Amino acid sequence: MCGKNTNWIKEFTAIGNNNIMSKIEFIIPTYERSNHLMCLLNSLCAQTSNDWAAHVIADCPPQGTLDKIMKYFKDDERIRFTILPERYNDWGHTPRNIGLELATEEWVVMTGEDNYYTPKFVEFFLQSAKSKPNSHFIFCDMVHNWVNFEYIYVKCEPKYGKIDIGNFITKSELAKQIKIDPTFEQSDWKFVSEYLSKFKGDLIRIPKTLYVHN
């Protein structure tokens, strides 16, 4: 049963990561679209690099919604699940902020349950990060499956309508200083705008289509 209770968060704040290797943490809000979530998690398991972690933040879903998925991935230490005791229903923004607060890896990507990634996403992003140590914002091109359910290629830029919440990574410690506005549906662009205004440094565009936004 869902209810207002924040004691659960204390269990996670003490979790740290002593691994000095650079990794990407995928923060994944979800509600009840378990088939989409399964597709996304399998796309992560298919990565050519193992340097990733995933934190699924469930927005107080109907009881039993995640039972099969949690059982399926129970032995994969890279994936953890949190079921929120209260429903926020704000486009996944509050679950993303909670996941961001609890993030332990160097890099984060705050995606959506209905997106998925090509097998080279993590490998190419971490290679790019290593090539420019001062970088803190890296993005790639994407395929957008939204308008009339057609697949549209998007050459991405850090501009409104040219970037999506799931096709860029940022440094965790910096993203935690911004967070996402839960009152605005298109907060991915607002986050990018505020983030890039606040933090200067190298931006990297990977000219490859490594992400599908649904």
- For the chain, the domains span 21-213
Residue spans of the chain under pLDDT 70: 1-20, 147-148
Q: What is the pLDDT of residues 8-58, one digit of tens each?
A: 443 433 334 444 579 999 999 999 999 999 999 999 999 999 999 999 999
Distances (CA, A) of 11 to 7, 54, 151, 176: 8, 17, 41, 19
Q: Which fold, 21-213?
A: Spore Coat Polysaccharide Biosynthesis Protein SpsA; Chain A (3.90.550)
Task: Give dist(CA 34, CA 67) in Å, integer.
Answer: 10
